[in-house]
Chains A and B, each alone.
Chain A
Amino acid sequence: MLSGVKETKRDKVFLICNYIYVFIAFLIVFYPLVYMISASISNPKFVASGEMWLLPKGITFDGYKRVFENSSIWIGYGNTILYTVVGTTINLLVTLPAAYALSRKDFVGRNFFMGMFMVTMFFSGGLVPSYLLVKQLGMINTMWAIVIPSAASIWNIIVSHTFFQSSIPKELQEAAQIDGCTNMRLFIKIILPLSMPIIAVMALFYGVGNWNSYFSALIYLNDSFKYPLQLVLRQILVLQEMSAQGGGVIDASTAAAMNSKAEIAALVKYAVIIVATLPVIVIYPFLQRYFVQGVMIGSVKG
Chain B
Amino acid sequence: MQESKTAVTGRAMLKPGRADKGLWKRIAQNWELYIFIAPAFFYFLIFSYGPMYGIQIAFKNFIPTKGITGSPWVGFDHFERFFHSYYFWDLLWNTLSISLYELAIGFPIPIILALAFNEVRNGFFKKLAQTVTYAPHFISVVVMAGMIISFLSPSTGFVIHIIEALGFQAPEFLTDPRWFKTMYVLSGVWQSAGWGTIIYLAALSGVDPGLHEAAIIDGASRFQRIRHINIPTLIPTMTILLILNMGSLLGVGFEKILLLQNPLNMSSSDVISTFVYRSGLVDAQYSFSTAIGLFNSVINAVLLVVVNQVVRRTSENSLW
Contacts and interface: CB of A to CB of B under 8 A. Distances in A.
B13 interface: no
Interface in B173-226: 174-175, 190, 193-195, 198-199, 202-203, 219, 221-223
B81 to A, nearest CB: 16
Interface residues of A, number: 101
B149 A98 contact: no
B51 A126 contact: yes
A296 B198 contact: yes
A281 B135 contact: yes
Contact of A35 (B48, B158, B219): B158
B216 to A, nearest CB: 9
Given A104-B30, A238-B259, A98 B39 contact: yes
Nearest to A236: B146
Contact of B301 (A22, A50, A123, A214): A123
A64 B289 CA distance: 42
Given A128-B280, A212-B141, A36 B147 contact: yes
A138 interface: no
A280 interface: yes
Interface string A153-190: 01001000000000000000000000000111001000
A292 B198 contact: yes
B82 interface: no
A276 B296 contact: no
Interface stretch (A12-20, A55-63, A195-203, A248-256): A12-20
Contact of B47 (A36, A133, A291): A133
B190 A28 contact: yes
Interface stretch (B3-11, B84-92, B95-103, B116-124): B116-124
Given A127-B289, A184-B35, A285-B131, 8 more contacts: A26-B133, A98-B39, A108-B30, A132-B51, A152-B44, A214-B255, A266-B156, A288-B131
Interface in A218-234: 219, 230-231, 233-234
B307 interface: no
Contacts, number: 284
B309 interface: no
Interface string A271-296: 00100110011001100100110011
Contacts of A106: 26, 29-30
17 contacts: A26-B133, A33-B136, A53-B158, A122-B247, A122-B300, A123-B301, A126-B276, A133-B47, A152-B40, A183-B36, A187-B36, A212-B141, A234-B145, A285-B131, A288-B134, A299-B199, A299-B203
A10 interface: yes
Given A4-B219, A212-B141, A237-B145, A22 B129 contact: yes
A146 interface: no
A15 B119 contact: yes
A157 B145 CA distance: 30
A25 B129 contact: yes
Contacts of B293: 126-129
B52 interface: yes
Interface string A202-224: 00000010011111000100000
B166 interface: no
B73 interface: no
Contacts of A234: 142, 145, 259
A11 B121 CA distance: 13
Contact of B146 (A21, A120, A122, A269): A269
B41 interface: yes
A112 to B, nearest CB: 10
A208 B221 contact: no
Interface in A104-136: 104, 106-109, 113, 116-117, 119-120, 122-133
